[in-house]
Amino acid sequence: MSTAEKTFSKGLEGVIAAQTEMSFINGTEGILEYVGIAIGDLASKSSFEETVFLLWNKRLPSRSELESFTQSLRANYGLCDEMITQIKSLPTDAEPMHVIRTMISMLSLYDTNPNENSVEAAREKALNILAVTPMIVAAFDRHRRGLEVVAPDASLGFAANFLYMLNGEKPTDAMIRAFDICMITHADHGLNNSTFAARVVISTLSDVYSAITAAVGSLRGPLHGGANEGVMKMLNLIPSVDDAEDHVMNMIKNKERIMGFGHRVYKSKDPRASELMTLAKQLADDTGNMDLYLKSNAIENIMEREYASKGIYPNVDFYSATTYHCIGLKLDLFTPMFVLARIAGWSGHVIEQLGDNRLFRPTTDYVGPHAAPYVSIDDR
C-alpha cells in the first residue's frame, strides 16, 4: 500500500481491523446481536453457558450439546492447590483487577503445554480460563476478608457457583438469574479495546494466556470496563435523588466525564443498558435499594436533556453499577464481573484469530523532524 493510500484515524475510529461471526452492533439503531440473535432474546431466554456455546460455535446447542458443554465447564471449576497457595500469599489490599491479571498470567505456569496454539488447544485453554477465573476472584476476596476459600460446587451453574464461592452460601434463584443476565449481556461486544488487545497479542502466535492477560489489563481502564466502578462512586457522592441535578450539572460545568455514558459505537442507548435498567429496577426493589435506582434514573434524564443531541446515552456500565450493588458485590468487584463474562468474548476472538491469522502491524504517521543534526552532548 502506498503512503498516499494510508489513512489515519485517531483511536482507530471507524477502522475495520478484523472479521467476526460473533457479535453485530448497529450503533445508530442501538442493536446488538450475538450470532444474529438479539441480546434481549438471549438475556430473557438463554443462560450464560448457552451463550458461550453460541459464541464459540456460531450456533445454539442441542440439549445434549449444552449438557455436555456445561459438564466440561463444571469439570474445570477448580484451581490447582499451587494457585490457591499463591492467592493466599497475595497482599490483602491488592486491587482485584490486578490480582486477576496476575493470576490468569500465572495459570500458564501450571499448563504443561501453554504455547500450543491449535484452535482445538485454544478452545481447551479458553474453557479452563473461563471456568477457573470465578474461583480466582472469590478465593482472593475471601482471603482478603480473612475467610476460608470455598471450593467450587460442580452441581451448580456458572453464576450460582461463583456467588456460592464468594459468599459461602447458596444464592437465591433471583440472584442467580440476575447474575446470569449480567454475564450474558457482557459476554461479547465486537472489537472493543480489550478484545482488540487480545487479538493483537494472539496474532503474534504468542499464547492464549498472554492474550487474555493483556485484555484484562485493557478492561480495567476507566474509559472501558472500569467505568462501572466510576458510576458507583458517583452515585455514592450524591446524597439523594434531589441532589442529582446539582451534582451532575456541576460535573458538566467542570468538564468532567460522566461515567457510564457515551460510547465509541453507540450513538443511541446501548441495548445492554436497556436490559440492565430493567434488571436494576427489579433488584433495587427486591433489595431495598430503590434510592440507588432512582438516582440513576434521574442522572439518565439529566444526561438525556444535556447530551442526547451529541449522541451520548447510557452504556452497559451505567446500570451495571446498581445491579452489582444489589447483588451484594463490593465496589472493586464490579469490573472483575465484567472479566468473568468477557473471557467468553475474548476467547472467541482469539479462536477466530488463530483460525485465520495475520499479524496485526499497523503503521504510524511520523510527524517529527527529518535530517536533524546530531549535536554532541557538550554542545547541547
- Residue 214 C-alpha cell reads as 493483556
Choices 57-65, 71-79, 118-126, 221-229 (CB under 6 A): range interacting with ligand ACO:
221-229
- Residue 175 C-alpha cell reads as 440472584
Closest approach of ligand ACO to the CB of residue 7, in Å: 18
Site for ligand ACO in 158-217 (CB under 6 A): 192
Nearest C-alpha neighbor of 215 from the set 202, 198, 201, 227: 198
Closest approach of ligand ACO to the CB of residue 169, in Å: 30
Q: Does 316 bind ligand ACO (CB under 6 A)?
A: yes
283 touches 326 (CB < 8 A): yes
150 touches 138 (CB < 8 A): yes
Size of residue set near ligand ACO by CB under 6 A: 19
Closest approach of ligand ACO to the CB of residue 108, in Å: 26
Q: Does 224 bind ligand ACO (CB under 6 A)?
A: yes
Strand-pairing partners, residue 24, are 33
Q: What residues are labeled active site? A: 263, 317
Q: Does 336 bind ligand ACO (CB under 6 A)?
A: no
Beta-carbon contacts of residue 303 (< 8 Å; ≥ 6 apart): 248, 258, 261, 312, 313, 314
Which of 22, 163, 178, 258 touches ligand ACO by CB under 6 A? 258
Count the neighbouring beta carbons within 10 Å of the beta carbon of residue 59. Answer: 12
Q: Does 220 bind ligand ACO (CB under 6 A)?
A: no
Which of 58, 98, 257, 267 touches ligand ACO by CB under 6 A? 257
Which of 317, 324, 327, 333 touches ligand ACO by CB under 6 A? 317
DSSP letter (8 states) at residue 109: G
271 touches 30 (CB < 8 A): yes
Count the neighbouring beta carbons within 10 Å of the beta carbon of residue 139. Answer: 28
End-to-end Cα distance, the chain: 39
Which of 22, 280, 312, 354 touches ligand ACO by CB under 6 A? 312
List of residues contacting ligand ACO (CB under 6 A): 11, 192, 223-225, 227, 257-264, 310, 312, 315-317
